[in-house]
Amino acid sequence: MTAVGEELGTEQGRPQQSLGSAAARNLATTTKSAPQMQEITSRWLLKMLPWTQVQGGTYRVNRRLSYSVGDGRVTFVKTGDRVEVIPAELGELPALRDLEDEEVLAELARRCVQREIEPGQVIASFGSAQDEVHLLAHGKVEKVGSGPYGDDAVLGVLADGAYFGEQALLDPDAIWEYTARARTACTVLVLSRADVTNLAERAPSLDAHLAALRALPGQRTNRYGEAAIDLSAGHSGEADIPHTFVDYEARPREYELSVAQTVLRIHSRIADLYNQPMNQTEQQLRLTVEALKERQEHELINNREFGLLNNCEYEQRIQPHDGVPSPDDMDELLSRRRGSKLFLAHPRAIAAFGRECNKRGLVPESVDMGGHRIPAWRGVPIFPSNKIPISDARTTSIICMRTGEDEQGVIGLRQAGIPDEIEPSLSVRFMGINEQAVISYLVTAYYSAAVLVPDALGVLENVEIGRWR
């Protein structure tokens, strides 16, 4: 009886008195949403980055001549518990920069001695002779100096890939101007001045290279390593006024526009028949363009050639003093540049910074950005971006930048006015219909980013996001 009652739409054997909802839906008009896409984010970097029109697809950054060398990081290879430096990476050291003799670099790499350092152990003491260069393969090292009242002051924190004591290879009278102390367990490769000098006696290329490089410290530079401009001030009478000129880099860096592309395919039957209430071609293109913009922002942050994380100068990279992103670390990041316009951080890094503020009883302010309340520190907004990667060790980075061409900051590059453009530097080009009646559209975006001067961009690296106490 129950089965028959259900089939006739009755309840407990009683006859149905009205039309059921299942049958009524066959006559009803369904209200549908536009296709949704979880990948879409706020893309604050694309919104906040000032864009510069690039004609010819290339942007050249002309800078004042600089004598600074060896400002990169050293890369290592680990085999079991043995760590070796890649020979070519020794070229990141100031004394070995531009040395092209691969055999000499390989021999120097073989002469590096591996040392395991315990937490708290002093690697080098202030005032002692500096006769070794240390390559930090893993761990964190504090640079400790003396404060104005005799107490210790942390001058900086070094992490994986850093080096210190590099003056030992050029100056036999060099002394340590700070104490290097291991903050965590560290693996360090040590190259002594004696080994370099011994090899230089048998390798003319190394000897000539070091002899030529020793002349560089005699060049007059400003504190940024740029060729000095001679000026006179405060004189009286008929004093001799210095003559000067401003020298430029002979080989300035050029940024070529990068490209992101895809071919969207739609069957003509779909495009012709299934267009109510929404146009299928428009919706397909809309979602494709959204995905292309997400990839564009990812490349602007992570691309090895022009991405922000990879193009930040080494001296503008700092390490958190206690692992987590504290207000002190954010202040130091701000202090490295004038006119900082924005922070860019993973949402989980912003949450970690909020926890540190809570521990200190601080409440970060917020600013209004087009109707959105964005957290800020010292008046500088902290924009979220999930494109900043999180490592397996649950660490990430926080980017701080000054933007704008007039401010010598970070700028986005694009070329507006390309054929079949739907947005500046983004085009949708009809490619035709094949024999299977499939329509093809080429969707293309051209873009890049340029850092006009090194201090326009800074990064707080190795930020821990998983510590809750």
> What per-residue confidence (pLDDT) applies to 223?
65
**Which DSSP symbol is given to 94?**
G
Token pair 């003396």 is at which residue?
146
The whole-angstrom separation of Cα 306 and Cα 257 is 10
The whole-angstrom separation of Cα 46 and Cα 289 is 14
Query: Which is nearest to 85 in space by CA: 95, 75, 96?
Result: 75
Beta strand extents in 269-320 (DSSP E only)? 317-318
Q: Do 399 and 458 form a contact (C-beta atoms < 8 A)?
A: yes
Q: Which residues of 181-208 are buried (b: 16+ CB within 10 A; e: fewer)?
A: bbbeebbbbbbbbebbeeebeebeebee
What the block records as the tokens of 357 is: 């503020």
Q: Do 372 and 44 form a contact (C-beta atoms < 8 A)?
A: no
Beta carbons within 10 angstroms of residue 64's beta carbon: 15
The whole-angstrom separation of Cα 80 and Cα 77 is 10
What the block records as the tokens of 43 is: 């893309």
Q: Residue 50 — φ and ψ, nearest 5°?
A: -70, 135
Beta carbons within 10 angstroms of residue 311's beta carbon: 19
Percent of the chain surpassing pLDDT 70: 93
The whole-angstrom separation of Cα 74 and Cα 441 is 44
> What per-residue confidence (pLDDT) applies to 133?
92
What the block records as the tokens of 217 is: 């410290």
For the entire predicted model, the pTM comes to 0.79
> What per-residue confidence (pLDDT) applies to 5?
47
3-state secondary structure 199-214: HHHHCHHHHHHHHHHC
Q: Cis before residue 277, ω within 30 degrees of 0?
A: yes
The whole-angstrom separation of Cα 52 and Cα 254 is 14
The whole-angstrom separation of Cα 99 and Cα 183 is 33
The whole-angstrom separation of Cα 155 and Cα 142 is 7
The angle that helices 327-335 and 347-359 make with each other, rounded to 10 degrees, is 120
Query: Which is nearest to 386 in space by CA: 448, 310, 450, 301?
Result: 301
Instruction: Name 29's Cβ contacts closer than 8 Å, sequence gap at least 6.
Output: none
3-state SS, residue 193:
helix
Amino acid at position 233, single letter: A
The whole-angstrom separation of Cα 40 and Cα 43 is 8
List per-residue pLDDT tens for the chain, 469 residues long. Answer: 444 444 445 556 788 888 888 888 888 888 889 999 999 999 999 999 999 999 989 999 998 876 555 556 888 887 777 889 999 888 888 888 888 888 989 999 999 999 999 988 999 998 899 999 999 998 889 998 877 766 778 888 888 888 999 888 888 888 999 999 998 889 999 999 999 989 888 888 888 888 877 765 555 666 666 667 777 787 777 777 777 777 777 888 999 999 999 999 999 999 999 988 899 999 999 999 999 999 999 999 999 999 999 999 888 999 898 889 999 999 999 999 999 999 999 999 999 999 999 999 998 899 999 889 999 999 999 999 999 999 988 999 999 999 999 999 999 999 999 999 999 999 999 999 999 999 999 999 999 999 999 999 999 999 999 887 6
- Pairing of the two strands 457-464 and 438-451: unpaired
Q: Do 82 and 155 form a contact (C-beta atoms < 8 A)?
A: no
- Helix, strand, coil % in the chain, rounded to nearest 5: 25, 30, 40
Beta strand extents in 99-216 (DSSP E only)? 113-117, 122-124, 132-138, 141-146, 152-158, 163-164, 179-182, 186-192
The angle that helices 102-110 and 193-202 make with each other, rounded to 10 degrees, is 140
